[in-house]
Chains A and B, each alone.
Chain A
Amino acid sequence: MVQKLDTLVETASQTAGPYVHIGCMPTYAGIGGIYETEIGESPISDGAKGEIIEITGEVIDGTGWALRDAMLESWQPDAAGIFPGAEGADPAVNGFCRFAADFESGKFTLRTVKPGTYKGRGGVVQAPHISLWVVSRGINTGLQTRIYFEDEDNSNDPLLNRIEQRPRADTLIAKKTAEGKYTFNVVLQGDKETVFLDL
């Protein structure tokens, strides 16, 4: 026998299921008005400093089909790389957004401000990115990933540089389609499978 640890084990994840919108996006589920204020409706408010961008995409399964029931959440710092709540952060950036794959088309849209770089622990600079969390029916534990941008300098990003198979890093980089417009697909399975994270 040995001494007992004082630590606990994290509660097991269970799928968000097909009706996640009821609990997290009631208006989207068709029961708007149940809450006066819904969270995650937009990561920015009027007057947010920086470039306003729109990222569109799909969450694609192993057969190439776009999920119609996925919910996504994003979290990011402001244009100066400061996280909401920290000193000097842009008060018009709350940094958090919830958005869903469209019930008909499977397309999602995130409208936000382009995040800035920041220094992580040890002073390592992280290229601009938005953290993404994907849940749905059939996903047992929420999937973490990141959206980087093809028109930023990603060459020294510590996370992208940890990806051994370099072409796979492209799965984390949003493609620019027009000024302020990007596309980013989350591929759950297959040759183009997105790099999912364990951070």
Chain B
Amino acid sequence: MKDLGPLIPRNRDAHPPAYTPDYKTSVTRSPKWTLLSMESTPSEETGPRFGHSILGEWDNNMIMNFTKGKAPAVGERILVHGRVLDENNRPVPHTLIEAWQANAGGRYRHKKDTYFAPLDPNFGGCGRTITDENGYYEFLTIRPGAYPWPNRANDWRPMHIHFSIFGTGFGQRLITQMYFEGDPLINLCPIVKTVQSRGQIEGLVAPLDMSKARGMDFLAYKFDIVLRGRRQTMFENKLEGM
């Protein structure tokens, strides 16, 4: 297999620390000792690849995929689109993106969600797609509702969509959340605020994008995602001992 080069060491300042006591669950789930840092190896530089053959007709359409096209979900119809890039500002083509979210009332279709907002019989809450050769992706969904959650006595999650992205190496694996421009709950959310840098938080907020919105149909939001890159210098990939 072609050696694509070692991964650029993760900039840990770009990510939340493990221990963030305002997000209470992190307190007992945060490692206290330091991570063991080394240069990446093939275990991190390679990873699973998924082709278009796994995708079904409705996978990229959360409005319709739960009913296989029979009936649309309730909610404000939106297109979410963007591009997956790496730290070297190069597109990441043909990579799987998975998304999941609450329904328009802020309720998840999950056995552990007991919030009394009703389930939507036409909404499942997951979708997936694969980036094109230039790293672009898009899917249709409904705007998820904000919802209260058990943390401090009156904490609410801003409207958000969970994203899982693969890249080309297992060491690039990333799960994150997309928020919506203008949502006043973003600045109150202890999970958002696990990210220490204001700029990095802004990187999670998708702007309204009227250039992709379709009249009498859907609004659009743009969410670009940056994965770890690979170090590529003329000194890489030399023969042993050089």
Interface residues of A (CB under 8 A from B): 6-24, 26, 29-31, 34-37, 39-40, 61-63, 65, 67, 69, 73, 75-77, 83-87, 94-96, 103, 118, 120-123, 126, 129, 131, 133, 135-144, 146, 158-159, 162-163, 188-189, 193-199
Complex-state Cα separation, A109 to B6, whole angstroms: 31
Query: Which residues of chain B come closer than 8 Å to A76, judged between CB atoms?
Result: 43
Query: Which residues of chain A come closer than 8 Å to B171, judged between CB atoms?
Result: 144, 199
Is A138 a contact partner of B26 (Cβ separation < 8 A)?
Answer: yes
Which chain B residues (183-222) contact chain A, with CB distance < 8 Å?
A: 191-192, 194-195, 197, 199-201, 203-204
Query: Which residues of chain B come closer than 8 Å to A139, judged between CB atoms?
Result: 18, 26, 29-30
Is B29 a contact partner of A67 (Cβ separation < 8 A)?
Answer: yes
Instruction: Kindly name the residue among A6, A15, A139 whose own CB sees the greatest number of chain B CB atoms within 10 A.
Output: A15
Is A10 a contact partner of B226 (Cβ separation < 8 A)?
Answer: yes
Q: Shortest distance in angstroms between B96's beta carbon and chain A's nearest beta carbon? A: 7
Is B191 a contact partner of A146 (Cβ separation < 8 A)?
Answer: no
Interface residues of B (CB under 8 A from A): 1, 3, 6-7, 9-12, 14-18, 20, 23, 25-33, 35-44, 46-50, 53-54, 56, 59, 65-66, 85-89, 96, 98-100, 108-113, 124-126, 128, 162, 164, 170-171, 173-177, 191-192, 194-195, 197, 199-201, 203-204, 225-229, 240
The contact of B14 among A10, A26, A85, A143, by CB within 8 Å, is A10
Given contacts A126-B41, A143-B31, contact A19 B112 (CB under 8 A): yes
Given contacts A14-B175, A22-B125, A31-B125, contact A188 B35 (CB under 8 A): no
Complex-state Cα separation, A62 to B98, whole angstroms: 30
The contact of A24 among B14, B98, B195, by CB within 8 Å, is B98
Given contacts A12-B195, A19-B113, A23-B126, contact A188 B38 (CB under 8 A): no
Is A140 a contact partner of B12 (Cβ separation < 8 A)?
Answer: no
Is B1 a contact partner of A69 (Cβ separation < 8 A)?
Answer: no
Is B108 a contact partner of A22 (Cβ separation < 8 A)?
Answer: yes
The contact of B164 among A9, A24, A95, A198, by CB within 8 Å, is A24
Complex-state Cα separation, A126 to B96, whole angstroms: 29
Complex-state Cα separation, A83 to B100, whole angstroms: 30
Query: Which residues of chain A come closer than 8 Å to B33, judged between CB atoms?
Result: 193, 195
Query: Which residues of chain A come closer than 8 Å to B36, judged between CB atoms?
Result: 159, 162-163, 195-198
Judged by DSSP, the binding face of A is loop
A-B contact pairs, 6 of them (CB 8 A): A12-B200, A19-B113, A24-B100, A39-B48, A40-B48, A69-B112
Given contacts A14-B195, A83-B46, A126-B41, contact A193 B108 (CB under 8 A): no
Is A23 a contact partner of B39 (Cβ separation < 8 A)?
Answer: no
Given contacts A12-B176, A19-B112, contact A39 B201 (CB under 8 A): no
Is A189 a contact partner of B30 (Cβ separation < 8 A)?
Answer: yes
Complex-state Cα separation, A21 to B43, whole angstroms: 24
The contact of B100 among A20, A86, A87, by CB within 8 Å, is A20
Complex-state Cα separation, A10 to B224, whole angstroms: 11
The chain A residue with its CB closest to the CB of B162 is A23
Complex-state Cα separation, A7 to B50, whole angstroms: 27
The contact of A31 among B17, B54, B126, by CB within 8 Å, is B126
Given contacts A30-B111, A35-B56, contact A188 B29 (CB under 8 A): yes
Query: Which residues of chain B come closer than 8 Å to A39, judged between CB atoms?
Result: 48, 50, 54, 96
Q: Shortest distance in angstroms between A58's beta carbon and chain B's nearest beta carbon? A: 13
Query: Which residues of chain A come closer than 8 Å to B30, judged between CB atoms?
Result: 62, 138-140, 188-189
Instruction: Kindly name the residue among A63, A136, A146, A198 whose own CB sees the greatest number of chain B CB atoms within 10 A.
Output: A198
The contact of B1 among A36, A86, A159, by CB within 8 Å, is A86
Is A84 a contact partner of B29 (Cβ separation < 8 A)?
Answer: no
The chain A residue with its CB closest to the CB of B110 is A19
Complex-state Cα separation, A164 to B53, whole angstroms: 46
The contact of A140 among B18, B56, B240, by CB within 8 Å, is B18
Is B162 a contact partner of A138 (Cβ separation < 8 A)?
Answer: no
The chain A residue with its CB closest to the CB of B18 is A140
